[in-house]
Amino acid sequence: MVFIGDKGCRFTSDILEFFTNRFSLFDENLLDENTIVLVTGGSGGLGLELVKRLLVCKNKVIIVDIHPPTTDFGTADRVVFYRCDITDYDQVEELYNRIKYEHGTVSILLNNAGLTSISLLKSSSNDDMRRVIDVNFIGAYNMIQIFLPEMIKNNRGYVVNIASILGVITPARLSSYGASKAGLIALHISITRYLRSNYGKNNIKTLLVCPGKLKTTMFQNVETPSKFLAPDVEPSKLAKRILTSIECNATNTLSYPYYTNIVPFFKELNWPHIKAFKKFSGMNKVTAI
């Protein structure tokens, strides 16, 4: 769905929230006090904003990160932190068993954890490349591989993969980040088709999120080339749209802000057009640091 301008996005989000809160137009809403939500990378950035908004929905929230959150949520019984390196399959498996024993079944999985490395491909170390791909792609794969079967068994669940529009068209010096997000997009599509082919119209939903540049520490040294054409994304606003989509049982792709809806169009063009697009948009220039 394409929206023209940020106001259009806000208007549509508000309309969805109005109908979701007042009418039973959608399937079961998983955002209630009986649902356990797991957020990877939930100690900061977008993940932290998702946790804050989930608490308003009265969910129990499990934060999985390598660093504990510094925020005082004031609801200790509803927020639980587990330290886990999601790139390690054995650690994720141990995490799953512990959560199931101590809390129950996770019904909503938010694959949010991510990191980046800004450098020329020839200047990137093998360790840096591997770490970015491991966290952004392998980590999400591990979480899905281990937590999805229980959702299928219970016929109740939601998997949200937070990718990036840079996984569609990647600027210079972000090869590892773009590759990892492109892989996550492909993984999401594959899993969605698998669920639909093997289980039909069940209660396992999937949502792909492809935002533009987030206003977080991950890209704090990257200046946005055009605040008007490609504004930075406020994590709190994106978190609101993600949870609205979950409330509405959306199963498509959430692209925000407005320009991310037209970027895939350029992907279908020949390389000279893509090169011209990158130059005109300034996306290569701003990563030349």
Beta bridge partner(s), residue 158: 108, 205
Nearest to 111 by CA among 28, 199, 209: 209
* Alpha carbons 208 and 193: distance in angstroms, whole number: 13
Catalytic residue at 177?
A: yes
Side-chain half-sphere exposure of 123, counting CA atoms within 13 A: 9
First to last CA, the chain: 34
Q: Where are the alpha helices (DSSP H) in 39-138?
A: 45-56, 89-102, 126-133
* Alpha carbons 181 and 161: distance in angstroms, whole number: 10
> Residue 46: what are its φ and ψ, rounded to 5°?
-60, -40
Catalytic residue at 101?
A: no
Q: 31 is written with which tokens?
A: 């955002």
Q: 165 is written with which tokens?
A: 């529009």
Nearest to 257 by CA among 45, 50, 2, 6: 6
Instruction: Please return the burial class of 205, using the count of CB atoms within 10 Å of its CB with bins 0-12, 13-18 and 19+.
Output: buried
Helices 235-247 and 6-22, axial angle in degrees (round to 10) = 40
Which residues have C-beta within 8 Å of that of residue 254, sequence separation ≥ 6? 207, 208, 209, 210, 211, 241, 242, 245
Catalytic residue among 141, 177, 256, 259: 177
Catalytic residue among 181, 215, 237, 240: 181
Q: 88 is written with which tokens?
A: 């390690």
Q: Cite the active site residues.
A: 177, 181
